[in-house]
Structure formats: C-alpha cells, structure tokens
Structure 1
Amino acid sequence: MMAITSVQRTAVGALTIVAAALACTPAMAQKYPITDAQRSTAQQVSEKGIPVSELAPNAPDTYVVKRGDTLWDISKMYLKSPWRWPELWGMNLKALPNPHLIFPGQTLYLDKTDGYAKLRTTSTAGGSDTVRLSPRTRNDSVASLALPTLKTHLIAPFLVEPLVVDAATIEKAPRLVATPDQRVLMATGDRVYARSTEGGPKLSTQAGQPRSYRIFRDAIALKDPVTGEVLGYEARYLGNAELARSETTEETSDGKGNFKQEPVPATVDITANKEEIRAGDRMLPEPARGFKNYIPHEPQTNVNARVVSIYGSSPIAMAGQHQVVAINMGSAQGMEPGHVLTLLTQGDRVKDATADGNRDTIKLPSEHNGLAMVFLTFERVSYALLLEVRTGVRVGDRLVNPQ
C-alpha cells in the first residue's frame, strides 16, 4: 500500500496528468479543462468560503469519498445549486488545486465559521489527509482513480456517436459498396469494400492517412425550432470499421486487345456495429478517442436555447432522464462541456373554457422541468444529458441559465 498526503497531492496531481497522457492508451486518456472564470471564482471564494445558507440542508460535516462517487454527486451533497462546483472547489484552493484530484478514500471536512463555510481535506484539528491506494499497473495511474463528473456508463457511448457535419462532408464521404459474397446486411467481423466519392478523400493505408472509421447513415437536418434554419446534419451512427487495403485501379482486358483501368475498392473490416450496416452507408474518419471529463459550472453568458431533437435511432415524442438531446447553441455561441442548464417546459396553449362568449387561446407559463449538462459541442449544435427531469422533454423546450 502507498499513501498520498494532501500536501503531496498537488505535486502528484501534476505528474499523474502527464503520466496518464504518456502511459494510457488513447481510449483511456483524460482531459481536465479548467476555465479562467472557474479559477477566478475559486480564488475569490477560497478567501472566505460561501454563506452557510448556500449549503444543502443535510451537507455532512465529514464525508469519506467512495468508489463510484462523482463530482456531481458530491456537489449535490454539499450545495443547493450543484452547478456551483467551482465555489465548492474554491473552499480549499490549496488542497484542491484540481477538482478532479479527489480520490476514493479521501475525507472531506466541512468547516463552518462566522456564517461562512469551507470544504477542507484536513480537519481543523490539524494533521494531514491520507489516501490509501493499492499498487497499480502503469496504465492504471493515480489520475485514473480521480472522480469522474458523471457516471461513465451514462455518457460514454454518446461521446463517440453523435456527429454533426455539413451536407458537403456527408456527400463526399466514402461509401460501402459490396461484400465478398454479395450479402445485403453487414455486421461485426464482416469484410466489406468501400469507395471514395469524386472530390472526396481517398481511402489509403499510407502513413499519416486515417485507418479507423465510423459508419453512418441518414444525415438528418437539424432545424432550429424557432427560425427553421438548418444548423447542421446529424449522421446516424451505425458502427466502426478498420481500413485493411487501399483503393486502387487495375488494368483489365476486354479479350479483344483493348485495355482499360478499372477502379478496385478499398477493403474494410467491420470491427463493431450498433445497427445493421448496408451498402451505401458512409464512412468518416474516427476522431481521437478519450473520455472527456469536465467540471459542472454555470455559463458566463445568457443562454436561451431550444431542444432541436431527441437523440436516438427511433423517433420519440418525449425524452426522459438520462437521455440525450441536441440544442440550438454550439461552440460559436459560447457553449462548452460542463455547462449546466435549466430545462423549461414550453407551456401548453389551451382554450379558456371558463370565459363567456369567445374562448380565447391562452399560453400556460413555462415551468422548471429539471437540469441538463452539455457534454459535446459542435459549431452551432450541442448535445446535453438530461440529469433531472420532472416531465417529458419535447423538441422546442427551452434551456436557460441554471435557476
């Protein structure tokens, strides 16, 4: 067993982030973005803490972090507004220089003095906080033990599935054309053939060219529910493939002494599939993998977004808790992973049945309907996980700054 004290953790944290990048496989790599605004908030709060009135009613005086905890869990445990995690982190800036360096086995102490509260990793009686870690292999670094923001199984699949592109990108993407035995449906383990389109990128196994691809179908226009403007095209994720041989040409004869160059498609192996794959489906290079972690926080600008669509292969009218929705604001409008937003109902339109004479149509007020967290952004569209939902979420529902 080895022990890491709170004093040592700052140095260890910096080293383990570097070690994780060097030692982990691409799929295990983690990122720990901290914005200037978050750091500024933490600096301000760290001097005094937050008013005790801002604490959750049952915030514990001490808490031992357990395996399976998340930053969101702990934020909700201590704060009435869990998106104010930077302030909770700022309660003890020296002990928590990076909010992701909180480990299972660590004890958190809540210090309430003169109406203000701070969270510490050492008790007011002094001493150091010690975290016991079992020996690990090189690939299971200390950084990999840090708490994730959300339960990994809720969000990990969606980090690689949604893809928003423009129409030209889809039209120029290579397409699957055939199988060796001319089967109609393809799945994991099948070998298939693919061709690039005119003006599009060639499929090549040369160094520096992509070898891993994602397979898509049915690029659906994402339309702003307010303006009707097309914000981008969402491609339906089907699976993954690995390029085995480059596409090329071959000289052939017609048996009469005439020769011509005929195209020979690239050879592709399907490595995973979520749905059945068919000829005509498109391929796009797989982006660099890595589970992004992030800090739940409030947007620094005013947000007035709308739900554009409910993510999934089958159309549904309403989304529930732990489902994913696309919204009509992206990185160009300041959206970033970790932004927490309040969901509002649209407010139904009904006839005033109590009125005499003409029964006017009235619009009922929008109501608070839960919380969502942005986890993936494109230029004009973002995807958000529905964290808490009271009633079903529909296309056109609003998302605003947390309330």
Structure 2
Amino acid sequence: MLGLLTKPAILLGVILVSFTSHATVAPASLGLKIDAPTLYIVEDGDTLWDISALYLENPWLWPRLWQSNPEIENPHLIYPGDRLYLTWHNGQPILSMKPKVKLSPSVRIVDKSPLPTIKPELVLPYLDSNLLLGQALVENSVRVLGASHGRQLLTEQDVVYISGQQPVSSWGIYRQLATFTRNEHIVVALKRIADAEHVEYAEQLTRLRVIEPRQEILPNDIVLPDNFEALANATNHFYPTPASVGHSAQILGSLTGQRYVGQYDVVVLDRGLVDELVQGSMFELYQQGAVVKLDNAKQVSLAKTHIGNLVVIRPYQHFSLALVSQSTQPIGVDSKLLAPPLLSGEE
C-alpha cells in the first residue's frame, strides 16, 4: 500500500518520502538498510544524498547500488516523479528506474530539473562565489583601479575602472581570502564580492558598471571575466563516491580563516585531480588518538576516533574545495582524512 514515511534526521535534513512496501531481507555487504523501500517515488526537494541515505548505511556507496538505465538519454540523472525500484541480482541489491514514458532509446523529455546531489543552498554559494587560483595567475590578473568619485564603498550602478582595453561584457570582482601551499604549488582563495558589466573602454582604461555588490569594493581587488576557464565546470550534479582505497588528504585551512570548522563548512585540501579526486569523492574524518605513557615508560597512541565525513565539491589540479558533510566535533588541520575502508566482498 502506498503511504508516507517521515525519514529520521539524516545528514542533510528531514523530508517526507513515499513508498509502497519494504525489503525484508538482511543487509548485504553493501550496507543496505533493513527498512529500505522496494519502491520510492522521487519528490520535489529530494537530493541524491537524501535518497542514498534512505537506502544505504554509507551514502557515498551510491554508485554500487544504482543501476544506470540505458533506455534514457542521461542515465545518471534522477527527476521528481521518477519511480526507483529495489531488486536483487546474484544476492546483491540493485536500484533501477523505469521511465514513465518511453519515447525512444535515446530521448527523454522532462519539464523539471534533475535532483542535486546535496541541497543547493549548502553547495552553490561556494561553487558560485569561491575560487582557487594559482598564484601566478593572481599576480597577473586585472585589478580594480578605483572609481571617479573616490569612495571605496560602492553601490549598484557605480562605475569602476580597470586597466587595459577589456572588451568582455560580463565580469566578476573578487577579494583575496587566503593563500595555501602544497610543495611548490601555491593557490589563492578568492571570493566573489560583486558582478560587473562592461560599459566602454578608452586607450588605457575600461569602465565597468557594478551590479549586485555583496560588499565594498576596494582598489586592487581582482577582476575576472565570466568566461574565465577556471570558472567553468561548477555543478551540483555529481555522484558521492568513496575516495580510492588507501588515499588520504590533509586539511590546509578554511576559506574564512577559522581555526576550526563544523558541519557544512568548506575547507581546502592538499589533494586534487592529479590525485584522482573528483567531484563527489568522500573521505572519513578522524581525530588522532591521544598519546599515553605506560608503566614501563613506553608511549603508545590510542585508537583514532571517527568524527565525521567530508565530500569534495570542486577539485582543482593540486587542491580541492571540500564540504564537511557531517561532524560530531570541531574539525581542524590536525583532523585526519582517510578513504572509507573496503567493505566485505570488495577487492
């Protein structure tokens, strides 16, 4: 019978879910929840993480449960109204989808947006506003020279000047936040503080009109065109998946300069694309065990304690921005990041 179930307080909020009946078999090595629904109808407001947490003890193992549907154009996208079916094959659970209308082997028409992985309000502000840029690019970037009226606090429609003839129509104005280092690689964290549009340019200067300022604009702030390559490929549609077995990472710091952060804060990691990280790579967070002295004066370290989880939301070549998706205590640079361990049956 189709009914409503209120989910427990899972990682990213409480939502109502619709289902028919429940699986009664015991969880397999994948970590399927005992009360996982055999049919789930996707609702507005759901996220991929919510649904993953509904089925799995470890939501980042979603790719092992989800069976892509080859009959639709974008098999990895899930939409409100889709019906997800839990079945079993060779003793392993499989979650698949049957489109309500089969139009052709490669076309699917929908009038809704696909589910985001994590609630947009947690991720999009960082994807839209924060950027890691190499030090050399920062040093050679176009800068704000000032405004004719001389004031530093600008309002919407104020005009600022930047150096050179810049014909690009749409721009972002950025403030430097912090610098992070990994061996010989150095990046600067930037925050977008205003949008701007091209007005005109003269022999040595370009005028930009400020639109939607978030805070005051200062001389020497960095100005980047919106078609800048480093601003591309930011999306909230990605799969949570465990980082490769044996991989570890180090938190270099937070974007805000805080010594400790908590759930839903964003940090900078010393690993990136060259280390096989992708959007959605998951790490477990641990607090190193205390060192104690035994009766024989020998020192030993106590077992580390699991204190949360972290997901990469934007990988760069040698660094990444990552969201603390769950934490039970403050997270700092001394917290240890380890790839989730292998489950039984994995190689």
Same fold per superposition (TM over 0.5): yes
Partner of 1:326, secondary structure, is strand
What is the CA–CA distance in structure 1 between the aligned matches of 2:130 and 2:300, rounded to whole Å?
Answer: 37
Partner of 1:177, secondary structure, is strand
Of 232, 236, 245, the match for 2:200: 245
Residue in 2 that maps onto 1:303: 247
Q: How many angstroms does 1:143 deviate by?
A: 6.8
More displaced 10-residue stretch of structure 1: 233-242 or 274-283: 233-242
Residue in 2 that maps onto 1:89: 66
Go from structure 1 to structure 2 and tell me whether the alpha carbon gap of 1:55 and 1:310 turns closer, same or farther (over 3 Å shift).
same
Residue in 2 that maps onto 1:333: 275
What is the CA–CA distance in structure 2 between the aligned matches of 1:288 and 1:272, rounded to whole Å?
Answer: 21
- What TM-score do the two structures reach when normalised by structure 2? 0.77
Preserved CA contact (<8 Å) 1:52 1:117: no
What is the CA–CA distance in structure 2 between the aligned matches of 1:400 and 1:300, rounded to whole Å?
Answer: 10
Pairing 1:223–2:181 present: yes
Residue in 2 that maps onto 1:108: 84
Residue in 1 that maps onto 2:125: 157
Residue in 2 that maps onto 1:118: 94
Taking the TM superposition and a 5 Å limit, the aligned residue runs for 1:42-191 are 51=28, 54-90=31-67, 93-94=69-70, 98-112=74-88, 115-121=91-97, 130=100, 142=110, 144-191=112-159
Number of residues paired by the alignment? 304
What is the CA–CA distance in structure 2 between the aligned matches of 1:89 and 1:70, rounded to whole Å?
Answer: 14
> C-alpha offsets along residues 264-297 of structure 1, whole Å, 9 cap, x if unaligned?
x211111223322112212122234763411111
Residue in 2 that maps onto 1:42: none
- Paired AA for residue 271 in structure 1: I
Residue in 2 that maps onto 1:378: 316
What is the CA–CA distance in structure 2 between the aligned matches of 1:346 and 1:274, rounded to whole Å?
Answer: 39
Q: How many angstroms does 1:81 deviate by?
A: 2.0
Partner of 2:141, secondary structure, is coil
Preserved CA contact (<8 Å) 2:117 2:236: no
Preserved CA contact (<8 Å) 1:323 1:385: yes
- Paired AA for residue 296 in structure 1: P
Q: How many angstroms does 1:120 deviate by?
A: 4.0
Preserved CA contact (<8 Å) 2:115 2:237: no
- Paired AA for residue 323 in structure 2: L
Taking the TM superposition and a 5 Å limit, the aligned residue runs for 1:26-37 are none
Go from structure 1 to structure 2 and tell me whether the alpha carbon gap of 1:368 and 1:144 turns closer, same or farther (over 3 Å shift).
same
Pairing 1:401–2:339 present: yes
Go from structure 1 to structure 2 and tell me whether the alpha carbon gap of 1:270 and 1:344 turns closer, same or farther (over 3 Å shift).
same
Q: How many angstroms does 1:230 deviate by?
A: 5.0
Go from structure 1 to structure 2 and tell me whether the alpha carbon gap of 1:291 and 1:317 turns closer, same or farther (over 3 Å shift).
same
Preserved CA contact (<8 Å) 2:240 2:282: yes
Of 286, 311, 328, the match for 1:344: 286
Residue in 1 that maps onto 2:306: 368
- Paired AA for residue 339 in structure 1: S
More displaced 10-residue stretch of structure 1: 373-382 or 167-176: 167-176
Structure scoring higher RCO (CA < 8 A, sep ≥ 6) equals 1
> C-alpha offsets along residues 210-259 of structure 1, whole Å, 9 cap, x if unaligned?
332222233632034xx6x65322234322222221241xxxxxxxxxxx
Of 241, 244, 262, the match for 1:320: 262
What is the CA–CA distance in structure 1 between the aligned matches of 2:152 and 2:261, rounded to whole Å?
Answer: 33
Of 142, 159, 166, the match for 1:204: 166
Go from structure 1 to structure 2 and tell me whether the alpha carbon gap of 1:93 and 1:288 turns closer, same or farther (over 3 Å shift).
closer
Residue in 2 that maps onto 1:270: 210
Partner of 2:241, secondary structure, is coil
Residue in 1 that maps onto 2:13: none
Q: How many angstroms does 1:80 deviate by?
A: 2.0
Q: How many angstroms does 1:67 deviate by?
A: 0.8
Preserved CA contact (<8 Å) 1:216 1:282: yes
Of 279, 290, 294, the match for 2:238: 294
Preserved CA contact (<8 Å) 2:135 2:187: yes
- Report the structure number with the largest CA radius of gyration: 1
Q: How many angstroms does 1:121 deviate by?
A: 3.7
Preserved CA contact (<8 Å) 1:339 1:374: yes
Q: How many angstroms does 1:96 deviate by?
A: 7.3
**For structure 1, which runs of at least 5 residues remain unmatched after alignment?**
1-49, 123-128, 132-140, 196-201, 249-262
Preserved CA contact (<8 Å) 1:170 1:219: no
- Paired AA for residue 309 in structure 1: G
- What TM-score do the two structures reach when normalised by structure 1? 0.67
More displaced 10-residue stretch of structure 1: 329-338 or 52-61: 52-61
Q: Per residue, is there more helix in 1 or in 2? A: 1
Q: How many angstroms does 1:111 deviate by?
A: 2.7
What is the CA–CA distance in structure 1 between the aligned matches of 2:300 and 2:156, rounded to whole Å?
Answer: 53
Task: Let me know the Cα RMSD of the aligned residues.
Answer: 2.9
